[in-house]
Amino acid sequence: MALDRPTPLNSLGFAKPPAETRVVVAMSGGVDSSVVAAMLAEEGYDVVGVTLQLYDHGAALAKKGACCAGRDIHDARRVAETMGFPHYVLDYENIFRDAVIDEFADAYLAGATPVPCIRCNERVKFKDLMATARELEADCMATGHYIQRKMGAEGPELHRAADAARDQSYFLFSTTAEQLSYLRFPLGHLGSKAETRALAARYGLPVADKPDSQDICFVPDGNYASVIEKLRPGAADPGEIVDMEGRVLGEHRGVIHYTIGQRRGLGIGGLAEPLYVVKLDPESRRVVVGPKEALETRVVPVRELNWLGDAPLTSAPEWHMEVRVRSTRPPRPAILRPISATEAKVELLTPEEGVSPGQACVFYAPDSSRVLGGGWIWRGY
């Protein structure tokens, strides 16, 4: 008597044919998510494209470099028509304003340097959009992020993208284990962006040559300060530029115009040595400047931790790993010392310059591509 053979897993990890596997694809209108949708549609999956309208795109309709403008909604719809799958636009303006934009403005006013794209992934795309995908009875949700999901001994693991130049792990550190079980990242294994564009051309997508977005979607011209001034009138009140001893060196045009580590544009020339912004004090409206060595930080407090390790974070007094304190910097050796399940101190074995509250500190397994989570840097040093 012949034994029934188990059904082989499809490319998304389900033991059923692609045609019986529904996948919601988060489509921004860019080439990456468009290729993901086209690739899965060609493989025969039951694809549903969803694009989020996150802010009043009318103001940004004619501006390039923004990921969520009206042009992008139109492009996502054209891709869906080309590949023959349904596409929906969801109005998430109120959710996005409450969960992302307001905090962005308040963080800048508090002297931090926020990363709104992480909050958007955490609070909108991987929360509300994922809930919508489940309501649509989708088996999983796929995105165009450059990051890899691999199966490990304890379940799905998050790993850096194969192409280090495109890796987006810094922006996805807060993805929880539960979310990771539902998410798929079909582009993470590709070797370069050129491969993605070649696929877009092969599928005949109208976005094959579309430029990558460069700015935060609700700041399409890159002018953060003007956005914050509109959201929080009076945010650009002038104040003093002082050295580390409190001596007044000049006047600034609003704390929101400055970031930790900034050297240019201080307007205090004629000094013996170059000075850098080492601290922002919004309460006194002071910008504190000092020599480059004053920027060096060794101990980094982090909170709101998301831990993706196999053992509980607090099961060991310290963890030796690599961390990244800015999206543009490579991971560096560090020791993570847990305070609780959601708070820790990170000791950098080599001091870093320009570590700023509001940025993320992302954890990586040493000598591995695995992402172990991360947390938010939360105070001055």
pLDDT digits (tens, 9 = 90+) for 136-169: 999 999 999 999 999 999 999 999 999 999 999 9
**Does the pLDDT at position 94 exceed 60?**
yes
Class of domain 296-377: mainly beta
**Domain extent listing, the chain:** 18-202, 236-290, 296-377
Residue type (1 letter), 212: D
Lowest mean pLDDT among 2-11, 40-49, 280-289: 2-11
Neighbours of 176 (CB within 10 A): 15
> Which tokens hold the place of 121?
């992934």
**Confidence band of 268 (pLDDT split at 50, 70, 90):** confident
Which is higher by pLDDT, 159 or 60? 159
Residue ranges of E strands in 220-369: 239-242, 248-252, 276-281, 286-290, 296-307, 319-324, 332-338, 343-353, 360-364
Whether residue 194 has pLDDT greater than 50: yes
Token pair for residue 253?
């045009």
pLDDT tens readout for residues 286-322: 999 999 999 999 999 999 999 999 999 999 999 999 9
Question: Does the pLDDT at position 267 exceed 80?
Answer: no
Q: Same topology for domains 18-202 and 296-377, yes or no? A: no
- How many Cβ atoms from other residues are within 10 Å of residue 54's Cβ? 24
Does pLDDT of 105 surpass 90? no
Q: What stretch of H or E contains 164?
A: none
The arithmetic mean of pLDDT across residues 205-229, rounded, is 80
- What pLDDT does residue 110 have? 81
- State the pLDDT confidence band at 63, using cuts at 50, 70 and 90: very low
Residue 19 vs residue 256, higher pLDDT: 19
Mean pLDDT, range 95-114, rounded to an integer: 86
- Report which of residues 271 and 170 the model is more confident about: 170
**Catalytic annotation on 217?**
yes
Question: Is the per-residue pLDDT at 274 higher than 60?
Answer: yes
Which has more pLDDT, 326 or 348? 348
Question: Residue 4 — very low, low, confident or very high, per pLDDT cuts 50/70/90?
Answer: low
Q: Catalytic: 120?
A: yes
Give the CATH superfamily of 18-202.
Answer: HUPs (3.40.50.620)
Question: What 3-state class would DSSP assign to 348?
Answer: strand
Burial of 91 from C-beta contacts in 10 A (0-12 / 13-18 / 19+): exposed
Supply the pLDDT for residue 57. 46
Instruction: Tally the C-alpha atoms within 13 A of residue 253's C-alpha that lie toward its C-beta.
Output: 8
Q: What is the pLDDT of residue 283?
A: 83
Ranked by mean pLDDT, which of 31-45, 86-100, 254-268 comes out on top?
31-45
Q: In terms of C-beta density within 10 A (0-12 exposed, 13-18 middle, 19 or more buried), how is residue 84 classed?
A: exposed
Catalytic hit among 68, 117, 217, 361 = 217
Bridge partners (DSSP) of residue 47 are: 23
Model pLDDT, residue 222 = 73
Model pTM?
A: 0.89
Percent of the chain with pLDDT over 70: 93
**Weakest mean pLDDT among 154-168, 219-233, 322-336:** 219-233
Look at residue 1 and tell me whether its pLDDT is greater than 70.
no
pLDDT tens for each residue of 348-376: 999 998 888 899 999 999 989 999 999 99
220 alpha carbon, distance to own chain's centre:
17
Contact 361, 306 (CB under 8 A): no
What pLDDT does 254 receive? Answer: 85
Mean pLDDT, the chain, as a whole number? 89
Query: Quick one: residue 285, left, alpha or beta (phi over 0 = left, psi -120 to 50 = alpha)?
Result: left
Helix/strand/coil (H, E, C) string of 114-158? CCHHHHHHHHHHHHHHHHHHHHCCCCEEECCCCEEEEEECCEEEE
Residues 59-70: what's their mean pLDDT?
49
Q: Which of 67, 120, 140, 361 is catalytic?
A: 120
Residue 340 pLDDT more than 90? yes
Instruction: Output the CATH code of domain 236-290.
Output: 2.30.30.280
Residue 7 to residue 13: CA distance in whole angstroms: 11
